[in-house]
Structure 1
Amino acid sequence: MAVPNAQIVRALRAIVGDTHVLTESDVAAPYLTDWTGEWHGDAVVVRPADTAEVAAVLGLCTAHDVKVTPQGGNTGLVGGSTPPPNDSRPWVLLSLRRLDTIGMPDGSGQCIAAGAGATLAAVHTATTTSPELGLMFGVDLAARDSATIGGMVATNAGGIRMIRYGDMRSQVLGLEAVLPSGDVVTRWRPLRKDNVGYHLPGLIAGSEGTLAVVTRVLLRLVQRTYRTAVALVGAADVDAARRVLVAVQRFGHTVEAAEIMTRTGVDLVAGTGVRTQIDAGATLLLEIVGGVEELSESLARAGDDVLDAVVDAGPASDLWRVRESHTETIARSSTTAPVKLDVSVPMGDVHQLISRVDEFAGRSGVRAVQFGHIGDGNIHVNLLDVPAGNRQTAADCVLGIVVELGGSISAEHGIGRAKAASIGLGRDAVDIAAMRAIKGALDPRDTMNPGVIFGG
């Protein structure tokens, strides 16, 4: 383990308390292996309780050239919240889970304050404590019970309702973050328009712990949706499913979510006992603002692209279970850790991406399971049964397809360590140099998450 020297460990214990500095390998292990099981690291785990402790830890680490990887719920998929293995430099894994305080929703400002360690599910629950306000938090994703607000801001998470409410960056009204120096940046006003200087919260959002540590966030709330309808729609292929979505939008419906699943994934989920109800080349999950009759009528008007449909009043948990069972089912179904790629392409090219990846998988003797947010062009590509020696080649081939289609190699999970070597596929040399200059200005000693985004 890359352990800071005894003097630094004693100083860390003095800041956060003896029980919150974990040096024993078996105790630290859950923090040092990511959700996929692919990324492992070595570090001392430090668990601060508040912003002041985070500031003291970062100031100490920067002064003594100790590297720091911030971590929220450890649900990332690209190695961004895991230190590297076998690194000779002293390293701290900074867990933000204890910073989990959530305030009461503010009706006049339509916002809520949440600590970096608060889970998404806890924020959703907190917004319902004052039902008379009629507010809710607009971001949702399947990992809601473990994903934390700080991590979601750091990776600029999107999720299943981005089609209506936008990504995490769009929800940040205010932010408190600690710079590598230990200085605290605070932007904390419930303003929708505040145009004084650079937008630092927007810069820190999506920076994957390379610029600062997010400790608190002032989140925008939206008006609660009280009446929704959900449908599983069978279509011949992915492009037909996209045309159904476009038709429903043109009929004037507000779409809350639009998810695509292929037969391969739906069949895997059905094999676990989940009732899938649709047998088609592609399955579209739609949620709209409105009632069952309205959605049923629109699907009837969508024409021959709709082969079959099951419609229910929201939240329609049984229908959503088909989509939300995909990630865990895929993990259990592969003989090796799945190669997981979070990418986006222009919405009209989603069918090409899925088709070309399926063709590549067939040629390579691996299985491809693809699903995701068809409403914003974001597809989660999963390659199963990929031999260890072929993983990078397989990933590179998929990313090459994405680039050829004019897409992005990272839609919502970040670059992390997994895609750092491929950043040139998504940004040109001038762009990368500008980002490195920002990193160098805020973190001149490269304390924060070295190796993430830029590699090295």
Structure 2
Amino acid sequence: MSKTDTFSKAAADLLGTRGWTSDEEIVTPWLTDWRGRFTGKALGLASPASTQEVAALVKLCAQHGVPIVPQGGNSGMSGGATPDDSGDAILLSLRRMDAVRNFDVDARQITCEAGYILQTLHETAEAEGLRFPLTLGGKGSATVGGLISTNAGGTQVLRHGSMRAQVLGLEAVMASGEIFDTLRPLKKDNRGFDLKQLLIGSEGTLGIVTAATLRLLPALADRAVLWAGLADIRDARKLLLHAERVAGDALEGFEVMPRHSLEAVLAHSPNARAPLEDKHEWNALIELTADASTADALPALARNLLETAFEKGLVADATIARNEAQAEQFWMIRDEIAPAERAIGPAMQHDISVPVTDMADFVAEAVPRVEKAFPGSTAVAFGHLGDGNVHFHVLAPKGATPGEWEKTEGKAISTFVHDEVTAWRGSISAEHGIGQLKRDELARLGDPAQLAILRQVKQALDPHGLLNPGKLVPLETSASSL
């Protein structure tokens, strides 16, 4: 019996027929990332049903020297949950681990397993008059474990922070097979490093998240969704500052999109309608929210925000959604930008951040620089202006060949964009993670001290390099080989 067969038999004995398979028809759909950029191979697909099974499997993999690639909903954007093409690794799916272990409504805390779906989490909280303050377009497939491993963001970061801010406690299986358990949250705990924060955003390279205790908030009693037309991205920054002064904690979302993005959605989505009659070079989507204690004052607050913005000359035109259906239509436009772009043709997508105070200036300067350096391309920036993170996409010239353009001029464009971001002291990954997509760019542009610490931590916690190899942490030879 070969080494591979020996391991597969041991895995099957450990996990049973539901927990282990090497059936090609079952495994293959999970070997390609959501964007279709990376496809790998695997010895098989492991689907443990408990933390204890995960721990036993990790020990088995360590015994046989088998790498592990953890996977949640496989909806990541950087190839972080896709194995390489060696076929030496196993895929570890946490989707069977989808139980709610504890739900303390009074404390506004829920403890759920890594495979719990984000949309289900929303529904569970809402049934008890609560809410989980993080959402994103892939909420129907994204899992709690995946969100934690990538420190996901979304449209509510402005007020509530990224996934890191939502995690009160964590359970994870380390490379040794030991179970790290801090699920019971403590308001104050000064026993050294906050180790759970080290695991959040580590993309499965330091440990495998199996469960988490998450904070919840009171359910929204009402919201006001506003759409404003602007002449310039710098006007959007001024409007954001005004909204923060007027609305305070009621300001939950502030998204921007250029005219190009709006028109792309209107052309692509038959149900989309332009919120304003006239065309504007930039648009801002603003959401104000209120719980039961402040709901009565929300309509007046929204009107006051726009009236004072007009008085200050901050907006060219604006409107407030008349009802919930129209509010959803406004947000649908924002959510449909990426699909509308894909219908146009190939593009290079960049998930970047710079300091919030600099983002408007960065966009105003970087867009024409990219288009000048790569004639025929179209640069668009849209997204979370309020937290300094925009999606900076560069669309290929007309007639570009999909698949070929990305590997040639598209690659050069990404290098150019990342250099621009670095010059502004920003980050090449704001919320989508590094994965394998940006690992070499991190090696090229990262601070040497930061990279050294990343490698040292990885070596300390995963000395044999079996946890999600080839992701996030650049090899020491990467920078010199570029």
- Whether 1:262 aligns to 2:258 is yes
Distance 2:332 2:259 in 1: 15
1:190–1:218 Cα contact (<8 Å) kept: yes
The SS at the match of 1:234 is strand
Q: Is 1:146 aligned with 2:138?
A: no
Matched, 1:352 2:351: no
CA RMSD in angstroms comes to 1.9
Match of 2:13 in 1: 14
Taking every aligned residue pair, what percent have the same amino acid on both sides? 35
Q: Which segments of 5 or more consecutive residues in structure 1 lack a partner in the other structure? A: none
Which residue of structure 1 lines up, in the alignment, with residue 342 of structure 2? Answer: 331
Which residue number in structure 2 is paired with residue 91 of structure 1?
89
Question: After the TM superposition, which residues 53-452 of structure 1 pair with which residues of structure 2 at under 5 Å, given as runs?
Answer: 53-85=53-85, 87=86, 90-103=88-101, 105-131=103-129, 135-253=130-248, 254-272=250-268, 273=270, 274-278=272-276, 279-289=279-289, 291-302=298-309, 303-312=312-321, 313=323, 316-334=327-345, 336=346, 338-359=347-368, 360-361=370-371, 363-364=373-374, 365-385=376-396, 386-424=405-443, 427-452=446-471
Shift of 1:424: 4.2
CA shift, 1:235, in A, is: 0.5
User: In 2 relative to 1, CA 425–159 (structure 1 residues): closer, same or farther, beyond 3 Å?
Assistant: farther
For residues 223 and 193 of structure 1, the distance between their equivalents in structure 2, rounded to whole angstroms, comes to 23
User: Per the alignment, do residues 7 and 439 of structure 1 end up closer, same or farther by CA in structure 2, a change over 3 Å counting?
Assistant: same
Question: 1:243, 1:4 → 2: CA distance?
Answer: 63
- Give the whole-Å Cα distance in 2 for the aligned partners of 1:12 and 1:357: 51
Q: 1:258 to 1:339 in 2, by over 3 A?
A: same
Deviates more, 1:68-77 or 1:17-26: 17-26
Runs of 4+ aligned residues of structure 1 deviating over 4 Å after TM superposition are none
Q: SS where residue 320 of structure 1 aligns?
A: helix
Pair 1:349–1:59, CA change in 2 (3 A): same
Report the Cα distance in structure 1 between the residues aligned to 2:471 and 2:457, rounded to whole angstroms: 14
Aligned to 1:26: 25
Deviation at 1:294, TM superposition (A): 2.1
Aligned partner letter, 1:100: D
Which stretch shows the higher mean deviation, 27-36 or 104-113? 104-113
**Counterpart amino acid of residue 234 in structure 2:** D
Alpha-carbon distance, 1:100 to partner: 1.1
- Which amino acid is 2:33 matched to? D
Letter in 2 for 1:33: T
Is contact 1:231-1:285 (8 Å) kept? Answer: yes
1:263-316 per-position Cα deviation (integer Å, ceiling 9, x unaligned):
111111011221132321111110113533321221121132211112125582
CA shift digits 1:199-252 (9 cap, x unpaired): 111000000110000010100112323122111111112111121111111124
**Would the aligned equivalents of 2:135 and 2:154 in 1 still touch at CA under 8 Å?**
yes
Question: Normalized against structure 2, the TM-score is what?
Answer: 0.88
Give distance in 1, aligned partners of 2:109 and 2:274.
37
Q: Deviations over 1:415-439 (max 9, x none)?
A: 1111111224664222221221111
Whole-Å Cα distance in 2 between the matches of residues 200 and 74 of structure 1? Answer: 25
Q: CA deviation at 1:400?
A: 0.7
| Contact 2:253-2:386 within 8 A present in 1 as well | yes
Aligned to 2:480: none
Gaps of 5+ in 2: 291-297, 397-404, 476-482
**What SS is found at the alignment partner of 1:142?**
coil
How many residue pairs match? The answer is 447
Higher mean C-alpha deviation, range 382-391 or range 444-453? 382-391
Q: Decide whether the 8 Å contact of 2:353 with 2:390 is kept in 1.
A: yes
Q: Secondary structure of 2:212's match?
A: strand
Distance 1:14-1:391 versus aligned 2 partners, 3 A rule: farther
Point out the more displaced range, 218-227 or 362-371.
362-371
Q: 8 Å contact 1:104–1:113 — kept in the other structure?
A: yes
Q: Aligned pair in 2 of structure 1 residues 349, 314: CA closer, same or farther (>3 Å)?
A: farther
Distance 1:321 1:311 in 2: 15
For 1:241, give the aligned amino acid. Answer: A
